[in-house]
């Protein structure tokens, strides 16, 4: 091959190499190692030939390797060696090949440097330009890239500037080969594997590197309009970082942590800190899941014409498997929303079987925090959900159960348990003779039978399993607490809660005939009181929580009565704003009976919610010690106190 042809071939190969490496650095930066190794190997082989005069093997090898690797730096003395060992002998072909290798080596080095420095400088330049002055738009700073933060970033569209700080987590040894080029060499991620998903699902969010020091964020942290979110699963680290950031500025900080006696005092000591309890978020989402309302799984009383009468005719029996934070929240939900009035104006029997292998350690703190739940309606079982003892309990209880909730903290284990229970329900209902004990009685399980509620982070992997259970076992498995639903801006910051609670509060205030006090003024009055900071926080939460529950519980009332239909439009006007000598001023005694049942049911719900929140009955009301005088049966209330329940019913009918 002549010199010109060789030059053309080498040039073509070099151009092809440039194109391939450009593609590689964009898609698989780790493969730059392979490209660099091929170039180095070519250089070593050429220099092995050039140093053929060196007879000793070790010096020959060392000189070839060192000089070959030196191609990547394009050193001047390398060119000198080229003249001595190649050009001087008139071997122009080797010289052309060597120059081609030099170009490829320098290109590889430059490309790697550009790739890394661009990544490093990208976030710093962006941050420098965007923190020079005070931001006019609110800044939402999310620390850490994880599934929770991706859901949050998705929900923040249009709410200001969204910045996600990639925390550059360490890479396990088993994953080192899959990481970026310089991520492998340094042992840290150049970009988190989830960042790509974040960029795709929330392109309006800007990602900056977690290696930035906190002082670079001080301009944002100094603004009261800045919101910081710490949603990592490392709850202890969230607390530590939240306290550090709180000392650096005026930003509002939301941090994920378990709600307990240690974490609940943090927002009081640090007013800008806001606790986000993952378990509480999941359990609270049940109040928005109409398909899981207990009223759907009991028998609602009707007259001969099919008109619903406001009370139920069957027991409500349930089981909660997994009694951690979420399981306890599910239990509180069932205790409150499973409180139904019967025909005799008393609460129908309610039973909740709580199952957990660690129950002996969990029960003491639960009872301490819920002193009002000592009526025997919650039965604790310290057994493993995979044991023979559990299967025996399930066979005993399944014929009467309406509702089963499973929250094991692991999606796979939760779905496995749910499918086993669905199969057991199917077998017992179809083949009662083969099972010891009672067979499944559809009437005993209420008008709509039986449901299994599962707490899942994501339902995507289990959609087919849920469908299979319904089609083959006739049992609905309904998920709740999915990450995409609960880790949103409005849910984390309490915006959803306040929005719905405020609707009911405004309606209730207008219906109660008292002096109108706005939502903001009520909060200001509580905060301005001479009570302790702890009482102020608890009182705000109690009132907001009650209004929130009342807003959604009106959907339960609509399942118990036909008074929410268009035929009874305006029936709420027949409930007086203030009590004088009667609760109902209409002319229909049948409607009055239904309204009374709804009012009694509302009192049962209110009483259950307060007991679940840790309140106890007492002769003197003391909110700071969670003692309330109205935690008594409906018939023991004064007529004025009873009318508050009627007003809740009135408001529910009015804002339907």
Would the CATH topology of 131-276 be identical to that of 279-487?
yes
pLDDT at 397: 93
Inter-axis angle of helices 589-612 and 325-337, to 10 degrees?
Answer: 160
- Distance from C-alpha of 398 to C-alpha of 41, rounded to nearest angstrom: 70
Instruction: Please check the confidence at residue 160 and state whether its pLDDT lies above 80.
Output: yes
Which of the two residues, 551 and 48, has the higher pLDDT score? 551
Q: Which of 228, 248, 226 is nearest to 238 (CA)?
A: 228
Q: Which of 456, 628, 482, 478 is nearest to 546 (CA)?
A: 628
**pLDDT-derived band at 647, boundaries 50, 70, 90:** very high
Letter string b/e over residues 440-479, b meaning 16 or more CB atoms within 10 A of that residue's CB: beeebbbeebbbbbbbbbebeebeebbeebeeebebbbeb
pLDDT at 168: 53
Strand partners, 161: 139
Phi-psi category of residue 160: left, alpha or beta, with phi > 0 → left and psi -120 to 50 → alpha: left
**pLDDT-derived band at 182, boundaries 50, 70, 90:** very low
Task: Calculate the alpha carbon distances from 277 to 192, 257, 292, 487 in Å.
Answer: 25, 5, 22, 11
- 378-381 and 403-406: which strand pairing? unpaired
- Output the average pLDDT for the chain: 82
Mean pLDDT for 618-641 is 88
Mean pLDDT for 135-163 is 88
Predicted confidence (pLDDT) per residue in 347-384, tens digit: 999 999 999 999 999 999 999 888 888 788 999 999 99
Q: How many CB atoms lie within 10 A of CB 235?
A: 16
Mean pLDDT for 177-181 is 37
- Distance from C-alpha of 74 to C-alpha of 101, rounded to nearest angstrom: 10
Q: How many CB atoms lie within 10 A of CB 236?
A: 10
- 161-166 and 627-628: which strand pairing? unpaired
pLDDT at 514: 61
Instruction: Please check the confidence at residue 90 and state whether its pLDDT lies above 60.
Output: no
Instruction: Please check the confidence at residue 171 and state whether its pLDDT lies above 50.
Output: no
Mean pLDDT for 125-152 is 76
Helices and strands per DSSP (H, E), number in the chain: 24, 16
CA 335 to chain centre: 24
pLDDT at 118: 62
The yes or no reply on domain 131-276 and CATH 3.40.50.720 is: yes
Pinpoint the alpha helices (H) of 380-518.
Answer: 388-397, 411-430, 463-468, 483-486, 489-492, 495-512
Task: Calculate the alpha carbon distances from 345 to 91, 194, 298, 307, 656 in Å.
Answer: 107, 55, 16, 18, 25
pLDDT at 170: 42
- Distance from C-alpha of 385 to C-alpha of 357, rounded to nearest angstrom: 7
- Those residues whose C-beta lies under 8 Å from the C-beta of residue 33, and which sit 6 or more positions away, are 181, 184
The helix/strand/coil state of 321 is: strand
Please check whether residue 331 is in contact with residue 282, taking contact to mean a CB–CB distance below 8 angstroms: no
Instruction: Please check the confidence at residue 520 and state whether its pLDDT lies above 70.
Output: yes
Token pair recorded at residue 246: 């709180």
- Those residues whose C-beta lies under 8 Å from the C-beta of residue 352, and which sit 6 or more positions away, are 317, 318, 319, 320, 331, 334, 335, 338, 377, 378, 379
* Answer CATH for 279-487 from 3.40.1280.10, 3.40.50.720, 3.30.540.10, 1.10.10.10: 3.40.50.720
pLDDT at 224: 87
**pLDDT-derived band at 172, boundaries 50, 70, 90:** very low
Tell me how long the chain is.
656
pLDDT at 148: 93
Please check whether residue 347 is in contact with residue 340, taking contact to mean a CB–CB distance below 8 angstroms: yes
- Distance from C-alpha of 183 to C-alpha of 188, rounded to nearest angstrom: 5
Where does residue 32 rank: exposed (0-12), middle (13-18), buried (19+ CB within 10 A)?
buried
Where does residue 323 rank: exposed (0-12), middle (13-18), buried (19+ CB within 10 A)?
buried
pLDDT-wise least confident of 129-133, 308-312, 453-457, 628-632:
129-133
Residue ranges per structural domain of the chain: 3-118, 131-276, 279-487
Instruction: Please check the confidence at residue 188 and state whether its pLDDT lies above 50.
Output: no
Q: How many CB atoms lie within 10 A of CB 623?
A: 13
Pinpoint the alpha helices (H) of 482-629.
Answer: 483-486, 489-492, 495-512, 519-528, 533-560, 589-612
Mean pLDDT for 23-38 is 72
Which of the two residues, 81 and 380, has the higher pLDDT score? 380
Instruction: Please check the confidence at residue 408 and state whether its pLDDT lies above 90.
Output: yes
pLDDT at 213: 57
């Amino acid at each position: 091959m002549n010199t010109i042809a060789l030059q053309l071939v080498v040039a073509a190969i070099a151009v092809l190499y440039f194109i391939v490496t450009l593609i590689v650095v964009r898609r698989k930066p780790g493969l730059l190692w392979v490209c660099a190794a091929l170039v180095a190997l070519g250089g070593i082989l050429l220099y092995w030939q050039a140093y053929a005069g060196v007879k000793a093997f070790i010096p020959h090898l060392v000189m070839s390797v060192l000089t070959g690797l030196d191609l990547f730096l394009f050193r001047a003395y390398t060119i000198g060696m080229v003249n001595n060992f190649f050009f001087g002998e008139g071997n122009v072909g080797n010289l052309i090949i060597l120059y081609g290798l030099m170009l490829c080596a320098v290109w590889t080095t430059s490309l790697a440097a550009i790739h890394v420095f661009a990544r490093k400088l990208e976030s710093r330049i962006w941050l420098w330009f965007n923190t020079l002055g005070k931001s006019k738009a609110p800044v939402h700073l999310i620390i850490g890239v994880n599934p929770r933060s991706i859901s949050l970033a998705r929900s923040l569209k249009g709410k200001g500037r969204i910045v996600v700080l990639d925390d550059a987590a360490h890479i396990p040894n088993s994953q080192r080969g899959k990481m970026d080029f310089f991520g492998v060499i340094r042992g840290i991620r150049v970009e988190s594997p989830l960042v790509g998903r974040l960029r795709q699902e929330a392109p309006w969010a800007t990602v900056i590197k977690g290696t930035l020091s906190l002082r670079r964020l001080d301009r944002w942290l100094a603004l009261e309009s800045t919101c910081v979110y710490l949603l990592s699963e490392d709850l202890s680290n969230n607390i530590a970082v939240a306290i550090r950031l709180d000392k650096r500025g005026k930003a509002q900080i939301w941090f994920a942590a378990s709600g307990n006696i240690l974490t609940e005092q943090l927002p009081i000591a640090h007013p800008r800190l806001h606790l986000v309890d993952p378990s509480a978020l999941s359990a609270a989402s049940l109040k928005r899941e109409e398909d899981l309302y207990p009223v759907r799984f009991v028998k609602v009383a009707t007259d001969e014409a099919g008109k619903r009468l406001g009370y139920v005719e069957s027991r409500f029996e349930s089981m909660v498997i997994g009694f951690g934070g979420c399981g306890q929240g599910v239990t509180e939900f069932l205790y409150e929303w499973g409180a139904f009035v019967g025909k005799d104006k008393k609460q129908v029997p309610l039973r909740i079987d709580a199952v957990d292998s660690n129950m002996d350690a969990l029960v003491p703190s639960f009872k301490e925090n819920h002193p009002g739940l000592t009526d025997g309606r919650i039965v604790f079982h310290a057994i493993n959900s995979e044991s023979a003892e559990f299967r025996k309990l399930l066979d005993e209880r399944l014929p009467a159960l309406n509702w089963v909730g499973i929250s094991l903290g692991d999606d796979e284990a939760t779905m496995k348990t749910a499918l086993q229970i669905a199969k057991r329900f199917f077998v017992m209902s179809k083949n009662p003779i083969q099972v010891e004990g009672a067979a499944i009685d559809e009437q005993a399980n209420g008008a709509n039978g039986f449901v299994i509620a599962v707490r899942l982070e994501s339902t995507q992997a289990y959609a087919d399993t849920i469908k299979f259970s319904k089609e083959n076992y006739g049992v609905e498995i309904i998920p709740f607490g999915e990450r995409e639903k609960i880790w949103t801006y409005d849910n984390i910051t309490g915006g959803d809660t306040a929005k719905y609670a405020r609707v009911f509060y405004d309606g209730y205030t207008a219906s109660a005939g008292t002096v109108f006090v706005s939502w903001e003024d009520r909060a200001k009055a509580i905060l301005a009181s001479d009570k302790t900071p702890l009482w102020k926080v608890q009182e705000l939460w109690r009132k907001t929580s009650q209004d929130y529950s009342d807003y959604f519980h009106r959907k339960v009332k609509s399942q118990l009565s036909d008074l929410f239909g268009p035929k009874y439009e305006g029936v709420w006007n027949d409930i007086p704003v203030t009590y004088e000598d009667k609760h109902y001023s209409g002319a229909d005694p049948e409607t009055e009976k239904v309204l009374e049942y709804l009012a009694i049911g509302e009192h049962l719900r209110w009483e259950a919610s307060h007991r679940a929140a840790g309140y106890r009955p007492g002769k003197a009301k003391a909110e700071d010690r969670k003692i309330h005088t109205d935690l008594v049966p409906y018939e023991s209330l004064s007529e004025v106190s009873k009318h508050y329940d009627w007003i809740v019913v009135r408001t529910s009918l009015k804002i339907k």
